[in-house]
Amino acid sequence: MTLRDFIDKLLGRQPASAGMARERLQLVLAHDRSDLNPELLEQMRREILEVVSRYVEIDLEEGDVSLETEDRVTALVANLPIKRARPNPLPPGADPSMATV
């Protein structure tokens, strides 16, 4: 955050638009470059979360799976805070929310 962003926030003004432009561009370019549509990405995200949560209990509120692009290389970045490990991994297809630890 820059000083200007801070003052804008204090005064309740709209933040400068360049930051928004940058974020929106990075997101749209990640999709353009990977040729993944948002729907497929969402499906993949759900499946990744499902697999991971069979092994560890993750914080779904804080978790994030997204495409990030740097230097024209796109990476799938998953940031999944682990609450605790499961001593016994769940079988495929099990509903993690039903499992007792």
Partner 1 sequence: MGAIIWGTSGKHVTSAQNRTILICSGKGGVGKTTLTANLGIALAKQGARTAVLDADFGLRNLDLLLGLENRIVYTAQEVLSGSCRLEQALVKHKQEPNLSLLPAGNPRMLEWLTPDDMKKIAGLLAEQFDYVLIDCPAGIEDGFKNAAAACREAIVVTTPEVSAVRDADRVIGLLQTREIEPIQLVLNRVRPRMMANQEMLSVSDVTDILALPLLGLVLEDDQVIISTNRGEPLTLNGTRSPAGQAYTNVARRLRGEEVPLADPTKEGQGLRAKLGRLMHTKIF
Q: Tell me the Cα Rg of the chain.
A: 18
Among 9, 28, 47, 85, binds partner 1 (CB under 8 A): 28
Window 52-91: residues binding partner 1 (CB under 8 A): 69, 71-72
Site string for partner 1, 6-25 (x = CB under 8 A): xx--------xxxx-xx-xx
Amino acid at 66: S
Rounded Cα distance between 74 and 29, Å, is 9
Helix (H, G, I), strand (E, B) or coil at 33: helix
Rank residues 2 and 37 by Cβ distance to partner 1 and give the closer one: 2
Q: How many CB atoms lie within 10 A of CB 53?
A: 22
What residues make contact with partner 1 under the rule CB under 8 A? 1-4, 6-7, 16-19, 21-22, 24-26, 28-29, 32-33, 69, 71-72
